[in-house]
């Protein structure tokens, strides 16, 4: 097998009721769980990322008391808090690697994170000979976009599972999907 699945930031602070909750986040978590029940065995790697920001400081300017919601944000996904945990609708039992990103600095792509033992996603893909990457998660217009673009940049064939993503806003999510398609990603629905 040479295929990986990226589950990007399916966390409490990014689903309904969270500090930066997006509409449809809980539903995406549940649909990913249904998808994994039938398809987890198709993947050599299942990598789940989480924003994991420091409690102290502004995390390199990422946190701001008056955020612009483009480059600065309210406090979210602080390491060890409920907001940083996976959404309860997401079954992580088939996840092979957990990646934490944004520890003290802004980070959007899961390629910017590491596993607890320090492995990078780029290293994991190389180590497992992964050619194809499917991407699901939150938010379409930010961390899903950045993670998928990085996967393309790393020479992988990328599919965005469009019914397993949720974005901050419809317009920016549509623009992100168009940008990803233009960069070479395949947009596909799972039907779960």
Q: How many helices (H) and strands (E) does the chain have?
A: 4, 6
Interstrand relation of 186-188 and 3-8 (parallel, antiparallel or unpaired): unpaired
**Does residue 1 surpass a pLDDT of 90?**
no
The kind and range of the H/E element at 174 are helix 170-183
Could you confirm whether 117 is annotated as catalytic?
no
For the entire predicted model, the pTM comes to 0.97
What domains does the chain contain, in order, with CATH numbers?
A: 3-188 (3.40.50.850)
Q: Which long-range contacts (CB under 8 A, 24 or more apart) does 55-59 make?
A: 55/79, 55/80, 55/81, 57/104, 59/102, 59/104, 59/105, 59/106
Residue 119: exposure state from Cβ atoms within 10 A (0-12, 13-18, ≥19): middle
Per the structure block, which two tokens stand in for 141? 């217009």
In sequence order, which residues have a C-beta less than 8 Å from that of residue 148 and are 6 or more positions away?
6, 133, 135, 158, 160, 180, 185
137, 165 contact by CB (below 8 A): yes
Q: Which of 77, 100, 141, 143 is catalytic?
A: 143
Mean pLDDT of 119-140: 97
**Cα 128 from chain centroid?**
20
Could you confirm whether 143 is annotated as catalytic?
yes
User: According to the model, what pLDDT value does residue 70 have?
Assistant: 87
48-69 pLDDT per residue, tens: 999 999 999 999 999 999 999 9
103-121 pLDDT per residue, tens: 999 999 999 999 999 999 9
Q: How far apart are CA 92 and CA 106, in angstroms?
A: 25
Could you confirm whether 141 is annotated as catalytic?
no
Q: Which of 101, 134, 141, 150 is catalytic?
A: 101
């Amino acid at each position: 097998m040479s295929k990986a699945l990226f589950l990007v930031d399916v966390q409490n602070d990014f689903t309904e009721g969270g500090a930066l909750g997006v509409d449809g986040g809980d539903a995406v978590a549940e649909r990913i769980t249904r998808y994994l029940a039938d398809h987890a065995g198709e993947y050599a790697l299942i990598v789940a990322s989480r924003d994991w920001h420091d409690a102290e400081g502004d995390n390199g300017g990422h946190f701001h008391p008056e955020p612009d919601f483009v480059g600065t944000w309210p406090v979210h996904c602080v390491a060890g808090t409920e907001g940083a945990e996976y959404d309860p609708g997401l079954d992580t039992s088939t996840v092979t690697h957990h990646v934490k990103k944004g520890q003290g600095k802004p980070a959007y792509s899961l390629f910017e994170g590491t596993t607890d033992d320090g492995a990078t996603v780029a290293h994991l893909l190389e180590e497992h000979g992964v050619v194809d990457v499917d991407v699901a998660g939150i938010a379409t217009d930010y961390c899903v976009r950045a993670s998928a673009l990085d996967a393309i940049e790393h020479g992988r064939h990328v599919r965005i599972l469009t019914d397993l993503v949720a974005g901050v806003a419809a317009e920016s999510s549509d623009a992100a999907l168009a940008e990803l398609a233009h960069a070479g990603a395949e947009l596909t629905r799972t039907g779960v």
